[in-house]
Amino acid sequence: MLALAEVGGVRPLRYQVGEPLPAGAAGAEVLIPGMGGADAVGKILGELPKLRLIQLLSAGAEQWIGRLPEGVLLSTCRGAHGGATAEWAVAVLLSLYRDLGSFAEAQRERRWSPHTTDGLQGKRILVVGAGDVGNQLRRKLEPFDANVGMVGFTAREGVHAVGELPGLLADADAVVLFVPLTSRTKGMVDAAFLAAMPDGAVLVNASRGPVVDTAALLAEVSAGRLMAALDVADPEPLPGDHPLWSAPGVLITPHVAGSVQGARRRSYAVAVTEISRWVQGELPHNLVHGEY
């Protein structure tokens, strides 16, 4: 609220999901759903006849696709959580390569168990998703002397097209997923994708669970051929009896890659910038366009 109050021409109204809308809400042109999600917040859209823009505090927009009233634009919070999410990817890669899980287990058992581990130096890391998060990860990995390749939906300087993936996977020690969940990416990491990765490679998923075929991944990690670090799952939350929990070489975190101190402040900083553009008659930079 305080951040929005500094934007000229904006009168912020606070609402609480499940309670009546505040006075004046019928004239609102911009909605910030908070973290309530489309299921909770979508119920009030019919009470906002002048709504023209929904500004998210998250980078993922899949919940809102197909649920927007006609004429309402959708803008994400791209740029707010990239640093934290990229940091998570570095952390899980280091944890797997340096075998920190086994050392933690040995510590719990008060057992001195030295052994040689792997490392990031010289590793070939393929980052699928060449947006803000992907580029943040590239910058963080290069000081470790890792070799980073980038893949985007279209080719450009320094970025391979997604269509080149089949020829790139065989040389990747790790594949990191930073793609949105869309009709094009749902199930893109299937049995053929995983089979193209070399023995001992690591799959890191910080995008959305359905991007990866869970059954195909479970088969690969259960056989000990691949390792995985997952911040998202399909289904999510992952049921307590799901075999992924105990699969060898799998590190799971509960969708917290971007959940760090300061995340909300950074989210609102991006939101304020986007809404300021809107107030000035410009289109927000993070609009969701076309097929999603």
The residues annotated with a catalytic role in the active site are 208, 236, 255
Q: What is the DSSP letter of 98?
A: T
- Alpha carbon 203 to its chain's center: 14
Backbone phi, then psi, for 276, in 5-degree steps? -60, -40
Q: How far from each other are the two terminal CA atoms of the chain, in whole angstroms?
A: 30
Q: Is 187 left (phi over 0), alpha (psi -120 to 50) or beta?
A: left
Q: DSSP alpha helices (H): ranges in the chain?
A: 2-5, 37-41, 82-97, 100-108, 132-141, 165-168, 191-196, 214-222, 263-279
Q: State yes or no: cis peptide before 235, omega within 30 of 0.
A: yes
